[in-house]
A and B are shown apart, each in its own frame.
Chain A
Amino acid sequence: MLSERDFSKLSSSLAVGFELDGIVGTLAHIMTAHLIRPEDSSRLRAAKGLLEQIRRGERWLDSGKFDRHSAQAALAFDRAASVLAMPSPTPADFDRAMSKLEKTINILLAGRLPSDEETQEARLFYGRLARRVLQESHRVASVPTHGERPTVATWTQAPSGGTT
């Protein structure tokens, strides 16, 4: 049985993961069909919400306070920093990348189509985030009991915890 913490972590990463999958699917469809459907707007709003959360996390060290949202925002920032397609971004690089994504999503929300390159960049970003969240939930789901690490090898996992 997963611990309480792991169960709720898995519940919330499933929620975030399915949301990200929906965003990626929407962006993929927009790129293929070159149109925005009315039903895309809720997913695009979710995409914007995620960017806002990342921005709150980005600002936390400088000006943030502790509240019930700070850990979630910091985690969103951490995920975003880890999936940016650049080896070691400076804060200015990060800011530029986020601004570009914000611009793309805002154009889509206004019902217009950005360039294919811009949509592709957004799709890649959300796709990597979706994958990172999947890796997190795999890690949680593969811990078999209350925080104990597996002591026997399973089909895909060595006793050390590394994968074979």
Chain B
Amino acid sequence: MDTSAKWRNHVVQAQIDRCLAFEDHIVSLRRREYAHALPPAILDFLDRASLHVRRRLRRLRGDPDFNALSDSEAQTQISRYLDFYQWMYVAASLVERVGAGDGLVELYMPLRRILTRALGETDILLLPIPSVNYSLLAVGDGLRIVSKTVGLPEAALGVLGGQVYAVGFPGLQSGHFLGQCLLGHEAGHAMYDPLGLDNVLLPLIQKDEERLEELARSIATGMPADMRIGEVQIRASLATAITTAVERWVMEIACDTIGYALFGPAFVLSALQFLPLLGPLDDSTDEYPPNRMRLHLLFNLLDDSGLRYPRVRAFLRAWRDVASFDKIEWSIPWHELAGESIMSASAEISSATLENVEAKLGVFDYRGQVDYIDQLVERMRQGVPPNEVVTGGTPVTASLPCIMNAGWFSMFSVLQATMREHQWTEREAKDRMNRLVAKAVELGEVQTRWQEVQ
């Protein structure tokens, strides 16, 4: 039975009412004060988008295409607006989170500076998220796709038409400042598409056609006859699973490589502290390779021969052994296939990624800075923020990666002495050291900006 015009009017009106409620929500968010220009710009865009969609919904009633639809087709099309509404609500929730909790303010400018150097003028929102994970949301891209989809003019995006990212970090771990080197991986996500890394890296992966065919056959043979899943569905699902895994895993690995390029050993130490907490080392999903594989590839990048701190070297040695690709116990056959194909090309993936990043940002050369970092560690030992080293009366401002590496090395080599000296518990001592490092980044930023205006 065809849906009555009355019913269509009712559901269209319900969606229009949702838009109106959303616009009220925007009004309440606008009443807040923002120290940053992005949140009001996002709110302006969302307001315009909602108004545009509301007009579009109103026009549906007289739209000959919409009126020609069957009952179920009309339901599908109306329901699409519900997802659009959810999408807008998520975008608004970014703004709601601005200023919630500790926002890692010390890292805002350094991170923005890194991305601007790589991508041109870029802005970011640093947001604590209620999850033990990091994320990077290409706000500009998302808004661009959706605004084009609903037919909004490009100009409606305003400043959001440029590079805009929301970088999420685990809110409860913001006090562990040293671990935030992992934001280097998120910076990698921001660079991955604009630098065209997918175009460069994905063709490096060779498909093992024989094993794929074999896998497709074995899945088909193992399928119970009453499942009624045909060969085409099996091939389609397998192709999707493999291509998605390879596309996503290569991106994750490239982003780890970028994190390493930005922070050197400090990135590996942060990853070693974080990744094993996320779950069993050999677990894989269509979107993430097993963490053992990620660590293995990071150890391939890490040249720790120049490291002067015996405790750091011993720690890394122990993990190098654990993080062996050969030890991975695969539980999903196509993930094993994807993993092996990627491993075969891993050296090329790393060097092509580093080459691209080198051209834009340079790669952090730990070995060339060993003496300098040693002096920063000495400042940590004295309880002084490691933001500079004074040589011959002239202060030389420490870069972000130098500070972070000095912080990590101090955590291994100075922590015990600090605890003894001040009668601090381990937690207190770690907390103080993290705060020293955060302070050094803040002071380093002040010095950098001062030098820029001189």
Contact = CB atoms under 8 A, between A and B. Distances in A.
Given A28-B69, A61-B238, A67 B202 contact: yes
B66 A4 contact: no
B448 interface: no
Nearest to A130: B76
B272 interface: no
A25 B135 CA distance: 37
A74 B80 contact: no
Nearest to A31: B68
Contact of A14 (B80, B168, B212, B242): B80
A151 to B, nearest CB: 13
Nearest to B229: A88
Interface size class of A (residues with CB under 8 A): 35 or more
Given A71-B240, A146-B131, A21 B207 contact: no
B232 A89 contact: yes
B80 A18 contact: yes
B76 A127 contact: yes
Contacts of B90: 1-2, 7, 10
B219 interface: no
B65 A82 contact: no
Contact of B83 (A22, A24, A94, A138): A138
Contacts of B86: 10, 141
B129 A127 contact: no
A134 B83 contact: yes
A116 B236 CA distance: 30
A3 interface: yes
A15 B146 contact: yes
Contact of B76 (A19, A77, A81, A131): A131
Contact of B77 (A21, A70, A71, A137): A21
Interface string A60-76: 11101111101101110
A82 B247 contact: no
A49 interface: no
Interface of A: 1-5, 7-8, 10-15, 17-19, 21-22, 24-26, 28-29, 31-33, 57-58, 60-62, 64-68, 70-71, 73-75, 77-78, 80-82, 84, 87-91, 93-94, 127, 130-131, 134, 137-138, 141, 145-148
